[in-house]
Structure 1
Amino acid sequence: FGPNLSFRGIDNDRYYRLKPENQILYEDFTGTGNTLNMNNPRVLQLIMDSLRYWITEMHVDGFRFDLASTLARELYAVNALGAFFDIIHQDPVISQVKLIAEPWDLGEGGYQVGNFPVLWTEWNGKYRDSMRKFWRGDSHILSETATRFAGSSDLYESSGKRPSASINFITCHDGFTLQDLVSYETKHNERNLENGHDGWNESIISNFGVEGPTDKKEILEIRERIKRNMIATLLLSQGVPMISGGDELSRTQHGNNNSYCQDNELNYYRWALKEEEEDFLKFVQSLVSFRKSNGVLKRRYFFQGRPIRGTSVKDILWLTSAGREMTDEEWNSGDVKWLGILLPLEEVAETDPYGETIQGTTLLILINSSDREILFSIPSYSENTHWMRIFDTWNPKFDEAEHFIIHEEGYTLRPRSIAVFKNCNPSRDVPLCKTNQS
């Protein structure tokens, strides 16, 4: 049948990391049975040559490194300044493309979110966990949620990185789809024939009353709303949003959170959408367009929480439902599950990567993860402030609600919802700015 060529056959103890106490066994930090030996120069050369080939010959403009912490392991510890990263940074070709790390592996000390070198961006697992907990209705998560929403400066700012270092996500190819995230509380991997031992035992999920499919209208409505909330939060956050392919189509794997081995309907896209799935797709499309047109959602630098130079307006305001700034006591209260966020733009003299002034307008974002209505008093941002509603996730469709201006009576945000408004000049934006509140 011909030769059986493999790294194991060529030079086993040079290409792979072996257990020192028994060198017929492999170290396994990857979950696939072995780990490349990154201390070997020939292994490093192989990887660098491969990356360079894909860039120069195949015109790939970036790479995502699975379980990237394994690449930095020297002996047993993860070394963020390991030889692999030094070589990458010095390479005139590879250092110019997008480098995205999955900043963990399966070994001890492998969780390295926030610790990769400057040229790298990271899948922000802390963003994923915080947003899932917040929209599940957890207590004592508001402060962390705000930090993640603002770009995770606690992870990236001190090392000289910018908000774009954070790849924000709710779901990815590993784990539940977005639809399954709100439909199941346990994995259903029986078809993988591994006796249920495979796949992550995810805990930050909720089925909202019934495991799997249901005909109960109230459960279906809250599932759809939580999906809208999660996608809206993702696309309103500072950093780089990543949407798992198929989530916009409400794709389900029927509770299987490790469907790598399924060449069937579990992984196939179903293009014939039901009405509520079509509504959700259009909602996601509208959100993407909204983000692209509003530079205040794509700030190049972290918020400082202080007045913008030459003005009395802070670069971000965190507001209570009473319309005043949050206090430390309120941040630390486990009972508070709602928040107002004011993102000024008119006074921000910031440019995009091409030197152009960022476009958009000042936004007011109201968020409520509690199970009760919250009346928000609306802040007076500037003289003749008027706020036009862009969307409210209580409504299934992005443009279903009639645009209107908020007046002094405030705005009632329904349970587990987000509403977004833009600063509106009635004399300039008429007829879009209507004065009746629905």
Structure 2
Amino acid sequence: GETTDPVIIKLRERQKRNFLSTLILAQGVPMILAGDEFGRTQHGNNNAYCQDNKISWINWNFDSKSHNLLQFTRFLLKFFHSHPILQRRRFFNGRNTRQSGIKDLTWFHPDGKEMTEGDWNNPQIRYLGLRLAGDAIEEVDEHGEQIIDDTLLILLNGHFEPVTFLLPECLKDEKWELVFSTVDEVPNIFPVLYDGNSSYEMESRSLSLFRLPISSVSGPEKSINIMENALRILRRAERSISIKSRRNKIK
């Protein structure tokens, strides 16, 4: 219902960001109703097709809260479209990858260990982490090259109290980059870096997204990746030239 309590209003705005984040960061096509992106609620009416009044009308006169939520949604959608790890065409299999040795999908308890059967059946646990391995997509692009993306880590705390997460281990030269937290009305443009196995304090009822950038690999592995990317570019250029040559011959 209507309220002027700033604490309730703040929590409601955060919950909107939580719901949009869990939707857009999930696998599959995000289904968004017109107006969800800026907080159109229809005053709680989920079946307002017959309401030809302010309940169903879209108010394009945004206040600051609507504007901030729209910017947040745009950020989420841009992130979604730029990361193939969120657009997989195949199911996860839970196996270790050949490159990094980690599973394509791993669920974490806040203590940094994998979720157990007991954790899943514990009604008191309202928090978990999810790591998506960017080198375990096992799909190829339109040129037949393997698709590789950043590794993502999604932390969720549905509890009414803060929770401390132990971030998963990573290589010595890698750091987890905090992409955003739903605690913030607008994503922070300055990334915050965390070491593997370091603690991260999550506020109540919030979601945080981290990533391990592909470019964070250093040393010989980085040199190999640079060479592989260069070879891919050359192969694509050769294919493009070959296709154009065939078309010219046909003409």
Point out where structure 1 has 5 or more consecutive residues left out of the alignment: 1-211, 429-438
Distance 1:252-1:340 versus aligned 2 partners, 3 A rule: closer
Q: For the residues of structure 1 that align with 2:68 and 2:59, how far apart are their CA atoms?
A: 15
- Matching residue of 1:317: 106
Letter paired with 2:116? T
1:363 to 144, 152, 170: 152
1:404 aligns with 2:209: no
* Contact 1:300/1:352 (<8 A) preserved: no
* Contact 2:173/2:217 (<8 A) preserved: no
Letter paired with 1:278? H
Q: For the residues of structure 1 that align with 2:198 and 2:176, how far apart are their CA atoms?
A: 12
> Counterpart of 2:19 in 1: which secondary structure?
helix
Q: For the residues of structure 2 that align with 1:368 and 1:290, how far apart are their CA atoms?
A: 21
- Matching residue of 2:32: 243
1:252 to 41, 47, 62: 41
* Contact 1:308/1:348 (<8 A) preserved: no
Q: For the residues of structure 1 that align with 2:42 and 2:100, how far apart are their CA atoms?
A: 51
Distance 1:427-1:270 versus aligned 2 partners, 3 A rule: farther
CA shift, 1:356, in A, is 5.5
Runs of 4+ in 1 over 3 A off after TM superposition: 352-360
Distance 1:215-1:311 versus aligned 2 partners, 3 A rule: closer
Letter paired with 2:64? E
CA RMSD of aligned residues (A): 2.2
CA shift, 1:311, in A, is 5.2
* Contact 1:225/1:396 (<8 A) preserved: yes
1:286 to 62, 71, 75: 75
* Contact 2:137/2:148 (<8 A) preserved: no
1:272 aligns with 2:82: no
Range that drifts further, 368-377 or 305-314: 305-314
CA shift, 1:234, in A, is 0.5
- Matching residue of 2:227: none
> Counterpart of 1:261 in 2: which secondary structure?
coil
> Counterpart of 1:412 in 2: which secondary structure?
strand
Letter paired with 2:108? L
- Matching residue of 1:338: 127
Distance 1:324-1:278 versus aligned 2 partners, 3 A rule: same
Distance 1:306-1:426 versus aligned 2 partners, 3 A rule: closer
Distance 1:355-1:226 versus aligned 2 partners, 3 A rule: farther
CA shift, 1:399, in A, is 2.7
Q: For the residues of structure 2 that align with 1:339 and 1:271, how far apart are their CA atoms?
A: 37
Q: For the residues of structure 1 that align with 2:39 and 2:73, how far apart are their CA atoms?
A: 11
Percentage of pairs with the same residue? 38
**1:55-74 to 2 correspondence within 5 Å?**
none
State how many pairs are aligned.
216
**1:1-400 to 2 correspondence within 5 Å?**
212-309=1-98, 312-352=101-141, 355=144, 357-358=146-147, 360-399=149-188
* Contact 1:294/1:359 (<8 A) preserved: no
Q: For the residues of structure 1 that align with 2:66 and 2:135, how far apart are their CA atoms?
A: 36
Q: For the residues of structure 1 that align with 2:134 and 2:126, how far apart are their CA atoms?
A: 26
CA shift, 1:349, in A, is 3.7
CA shift, 1:381, in A, is 3.0
Letter paired with 1:394? V
Q: For the residues of structure 1 that align with 2:44 and 2:136, how far apart are their CA atoms?
A: 47
CA shift, 1:359, in A, is 5.3
Point out where structure 2 has 5 or more consecutive residues left out of the alignment: 220-251
* Contact 2:15/2:205 (<8 A) preserved: yes
Structure-1-length-normalised TM-score: 0.47
Distance 1:384-1:347 versus aligned 2 partners, 3 A rule: farther
- Matching residue of 1:415: 204
Structure-2-length-normalised TM-score: 0.79
Asked which structure has the greater RCO (Cα within 8 Å, sep 6+), the reply is 2
Q: For the residues of structure 1 that align with 2:118 and 2:141, how far apart are their CA atoms?
A: 36
* Contact 2:88/2:137 (<8 A) preserved: no
Distance 1:384-1:220 versus aligned 2 partners, 3 A rule: same
Distance 1:348-1:384 versus aligned 2 partners, 3 A rule: farther
